[in-house]
A and B are shown apart, each in its own frame.
Chain A
Amino acid sequence: MSFLELKDLRIHFPTDDGLVKSVDGLSFTLERGKTLGIVGESGSGKSVTSLGILGLHKGGRARISGEIWLDGEELVGAGQEHVRALRGKKMAMIFQDPLSAMHPFYTVGDQIIEAYRIHNDVSKKVARKHAIDMLGRVGIPQPERRVDSYPHEFSGGMRQRAMIAMALSCDPELLIADEPTTALDVTVQAQILDLMRDLQRDFNAALIIITHDLGVVAELSDDILVMYGGKCVEYGTSDDIFERPEHPYTWGLLGSMPRLDREPTERLMPIKGSPPSLINVPSGCAFHPRCVFEERTGGRAKTEVPELLETEGGHLVRCHLPRERRRAIWENEIKPNLEAS
């Protein structure tokens, strides 16, 4: 069995307006030392998935079904307290905006010490030393001084480094980074991504990076999972997704990917329309209202929900277009366009 395995995970939220199907039948596996990138627009269900793995929906209004296996333990059916004890220790999370994700009234050191001491029965002094060590490891200069600073006294990049230090303080085996670089400027983004790659290697953790930006996961991920409307629409290795993408949505993501080698003034190729409602999910393929190639399915996209099918060597795609047609479109219509621009 894999280190992390999700089987048909469904996370639904009942609201006054109806049932919000944030995650609707998601399955994937992840091994130690590997990195999975989950990519999608906001509302695609990627953050809900990560919180679901951590068990943070437990005790709330969410209806969760399916299975989450972590190192041989099933978490969906496990007790709230049990999952809490794993949180922070076995699995940890790095959040998007470190300014709002860190408590403004406590020092960075205090927050790392707190995280460490929940799971480790050590004195404050030992914990503090550990915090300083961790800050040093994530590349914060003069950690013994900065340990007593408040989050607002750090720069954005430093704050994210501190956040990473906090997440890593208990040596987690699974690390989930939710948009870890979105709030940072481009040069700092690269530094943080480098740092995460180095640390993952050092800690041999399984890493999930959640982002709306394929560029972020391009170099980091072993595998990439593209989510749309609470479902996986394409899954494959990094190469699969970047070299042989088959889903029109993935093509759109690639087209709208900002790249360092492009002039900022150049027009991207954005996906038209807006993300689907999770309450009134479009009939058939959830992506069909925005899909440029919808007509080529002969109307099936409007009525029939496509299956997630293997196309080749673990590469999964959820699309009504025949495989050959997809490849042809990619080779003839999309790829040249992307390269030309």
Chain B
Amino acid sequence: MLRRRLGVAAIGAVLALAVAACGGGSGSSSPSSSGDAAGGGAAATGEFNAALTGVVNPSDKKGGILKFANGGDWDSLDPGDTYYGYSWNFIRLYGRSLLMFKSAVGKEGNQLTPDLAEDLGTPSDDAKTWTYKLKKGIKFEDGTPVTSKDVKYAVERSFDKEVFPDGYTYFNDFLDWPKGYKGAYKSKDVNTDSAIETPDDSTIVFHLKQPLSNFDYFAQLPATIPVPKDKDTGAKYKEHVIATGPYKFEKNEIGKGFTLVRNEQWDPATDPNRKALPDGYEVSTNVNADDIDNRILAGDLDIDVAGIGIQSAALGRVLPDPALKANSDNPTSTRLWYTSINGNVPPLDNIDCRKAVQYATDKVSLQTAWGGEFSGGQIATSLLPPAIPGHEDFNLYPPGADNKGDLTKAKEALTACGQPNGFETNISYRAERPKEKAAAEALQQSLGRVGIKLTLKPFPQADYFALYAGKPGYAKDYKIGLAMNGWQSDWPDGFGFLQQIVDSRVIRDTGGSSNISVRDPEVDKLIDQAMKETDTNARNAIWTQIDKKVMEDSFILPNVWTKTLLVRSKNATNIFVNDAYGMYDYLGMGVK
């Protein structure tokens, strides 16, 4: 699960939600056109949400410096050790991976496009082997040509999670590594051709343990950004990453900030994806979050790089002010807040009792609990967020005209379940998260209307999955019938979003899995099918099918798809939201 810094934004006022808005979320609007890489959308004017569907302030003007700030610290600038969405968005400025997401408006940004590679991957052997050819003429910032061996080395070094604890384990888990392999540092002379082969300097071949139809998404991961072995300093490499993109590090003070300047060795001829308009970037880290908002509103700063939206203080300023609001965007991210309905806890083992929960839920009060329409989220009726291919608008449990629940249907379901007067169960949430608590309380209220009595059970966040809600034995013994939960995919793809939360095989008796409730062999079978399906459209259709199946089973009660309020820079050009990141695209921007 891609990490996303949790904002503390919350609006106090409840903003009434029009029922119609439910179907027409911003993310479901279609891309307007397909043009060049840096922003395919039509030129947009300064209206609220204009950057969701078009490019605001389009321009090809070069020069200037863009100023970014980060409320916290980067997890790491090292391509092998970074696991934040904003960092993956930003890393494209200095690093080139095999593939990348297009720098384009909305859904078009979800498309993979070759970067180091000449083309998307070529699968063979039932999608267990993937081959990429590298473009010629790509160099590191010191002028050394990039070869496939540098990519291979980069993936090998990222294997070592003791040195790079922040990263993901996709390559560790899926590639066919030799037994006992411990990564580039600890297993120096081990032959790793079983996992990655480099038959020549411009070819790289990945061998997987199992079929994986969407391996191209792996190939866009920052871990495939080449690292020159002789310049690798392990945990200290992040202090000076050797650039392949249009910018390189000039100065880097970990914990304070860094500056990027043009990388003269970057050849635009090899790179149709990047315009590289500004002359450089100034990034400050660990800046006071409210200070960032104020500086952006004042035009002293361009981007809050974390991309999680403004703080509650600024929210209260922007929303009521038409001029400020017109200069902001409210994208829906690929995060779903939901409630797991545990079929192991009677009477929720009965599907009708689970359905009663769906019908009785007041979605408006849930949305309010998560922070309201603008900084909380869009009411969710299924699992896949609108920005992820395979999303389809459907609602199996219509919550009534006012979106506050259909109590008649809920009572019918309870009767069918044999509990006409309701039942009692517990709902767990992470004690450190006030919004989860608020959502649990909202559910307690709304389910109470049909006699379903919930008792709140807070647990510490660190052990939530390992010891409590996520541990099947505990959840069953202590009757954790409902559990607050959340998920965001690492990339806009059904696999990344669904596999970890609906595949029953990831549930372990020892606990620790994010999937707490979904146990359906049909779903598991569909996942296997999708992982072998190399045709994108056919594969996306399967994800839709899985989404519907899980909703039919009623193992998950979707709450909201997170929304954030972003404020546009006063000085920047080419401002647009890229659905792949759910925030402004940092690659296309220039300076006025």
On whether A and B touch (CB less than 8 Å), the answer reads: no
On A, residues with C-beta under 8 Å from B are: none
On B, residues with C-beta under 8 Å from A are: none
